[in-house]
Amino acid sequence: MKTVLILTGPQGSGNHMWSKIFALHPEVQGWQALLDQYWQGHDQEPFADYWVRPDTLSQFDWSQSDWYVTSISVPYALNGTLTVPDFAQFVSAVQQQGHAVKIALLGRDRNIVSMQEQRVRGQPTLSQALHSYQQLTPDAYLSYELLHLYGAAYLKNVAQQLDFPIDWNNPAVEKILEVDTNSKYFSAVDHYATDDLARLSSRKWR
């Protein structure tokens, strides 16, 4: 049975990064163009038109692979209008073709997501995404922070959770993760109230 993996997260939670990761595997049909370009709009995502018209998935060329990945954020911009994808209709249309569907819900620090949405879209839309995801039953939750912390080891675990091919030891993974874009939202704190207590506690163990 062929499998379609849906990557979805709040706008700014790492859809492009995760799309690149999954596109690395030679058996997976996904957003391969992102491997040659740093960024593309979601209107260039291979399944973009099918999210608008899921009924046309019957015309999709399913002979390309047994493994497919599509990426969609909540909300996504459709002709300039912020739009919540119809997950139920899309999933149903894929299943009508006799294929399995898995869902991976992307996560990132909620403060950073809100700031990112405010900066890019002019308004935070996180609450809209969280409400929409109450209707889904994810097969896995994928963390932006854990990916940058554990790298290939985390990807190997994700592949096992999803039972989905990931080229987790590909050298290109390190390149994709070279820049942690969370860092631009951080500023160092010289001292915090609990620092002295933590140092005192550490000395007790000596």
Residue the block writes with tokens 């002295």: 196
Structure confidence at residue 54 (pLDDT): 97
AA identity, residue 79: N
Residue 8's DSSP bridge partners are: 72, 105
Coil vs helix vs strand at 104: strand
Q: Under CATH, what is the fold of the domain 3-180?
A: Rossmann fold (3.40.50)
Coil vs helix vs strand at 28: strand
Q: What angle do the packed helices 126-133 and 110-121 form, to 10 degrees?
A: 120
Structure confidence at residue 123 (pLDDT): 84
Instruction: List the end-to-end C-alpha distance of the chain, in Å, as a whole number.
Output: 59
Per-residue tens of pLDDT for the chain, all 206 residues:
999 999 999 999 999 999 999 999 999 999 999 999 877 888 899 999 999 999 999 999 999 999 999 999 999 988 888 899 999 999 999 999 999 999 999 999 999 999 988 888 788 899 999 999 999 999 999 999 999 999 999 999 999 999 999 999 999 999 999 999 898 887 776 776 776 655 555 565 55
Q: 67 near 28, Cβ under 8 Å? A: yes
Structure confidence at residue 116 (pLDDT): 85
Residue the block writes with tokens 């390190």: 174
Helices (H), 106-194: 110-121, 126-133, 144-150, 152-162, 172-176
151: Cβ contacts below 8 Å, ≥ 6 apart = 173, 174, 177
Q: Which two tokens stand for residue 133?
A: 């995801």
Structure confidence at residue 190 (pLDDT): 72
Structure confidence at residue 39 (pLDDT): 77
Q: 66 near 164, Cβ under 8 Å? A: no
